[in-house]
Amino acid sequence: MSSRIPLPYNPKIIELFRNPKNMGPMKDATITAIAGSPACGDMISLYLKIEKRNNEDVVVNATFESYGCAANIAAASILTEMIKGKSVKEAWMISWRDIADELGGLPVIKYHCSILAVGALRRAIRDYYKKMKVHPDWLPRDLTVEEKQTFEEEKMMEHLRKMRESMVKYK
Ligand code: FES
């Protein structure tokens, strides 16, 4: 018998984990961003199709690939639903808490899954404007909390990966 206690996921998370929306790569994406570490597991690839509509940049399509847990898949899935049809500026404003709320709540130890999803989105948006060589006035110069935390997590994953590798070497 397993001694692990199942996490209190609500039915919406379980449903999105089983039947995620917008999953898979996008061939004609305008921009793609990865957050997390492929070497260590938790990771999101986000694909955005951005078009100009009435002089505004609009996310006309969004898909994702996830190599994380159930909450990560559900967070990425709901994020793609939330940003489709929104201006890039509106998409930028979405916080990890908005995602958690939209999911009907996340267990505390799963907050980072939603932070990773927002980290991927904001990285994609920054990369898009870098590519366009413009900096809209609403885009902060400094990294936001979600972006900083995503970086921290990536550094930690990389550190753990190196530690694991050196342990294997000296076995
Ligand atoms: Fe790391 Fe969910 S993505 S636990």
Q: Which of 34, 37, 42 to mutate to test the pocket of ligand 1 (most atoms within 8 A of CB)?
A: 42
Its CATH class, for the domain covering 11-169, is alpha beta
123 contacts: CB under 8 Å, gap ≥ 6: 33, 34, 35, 147, 150
Q: In angstroms, what is the span from residue 115 Cα to ligand 1's centroid?
A: 10
pLDDT at 89 over 70: yes
What is the tens place of the pLDDT at every residue in 63-76?
A: 999 988 899 999 99
Identify whether 69 is a catalytic site residue: no
Number of H helices, E strands in the chain: 6, 3
> pLDDT-derived band of residue 5, with 50, 70 and 90 as boundaries?
low
> pLDDT-derived band of residue 3, with 50, 70 and 90 as boundaries?
low
pTM of the model: 0.89
Q: In angstroms, what is the span from residue 133 Cα to ligand 1's centroid?
A: 33
- Amino acid residing at 171: K
Its sign, for the CA torsion 94, 97, 146, 21, is negative
Mean pLDDT of the chain: 91
Higher pLDDT, 115 or 157: 115
Distance CA 130, CA 76 (A): 23
> How is 113-130 classified by DSSP, letter by letter?
HHHHHHHHHHHHHHHHHH
pLDDT at 101 over 80: yes
Distance CA 99, CA 78 (A): 7
What is the tens place of the pLDDT at every residue in 130-155?
A: 999 999 999 999 999 989 999 898 88
Identify whether 113 is a catalytic site residue: yes
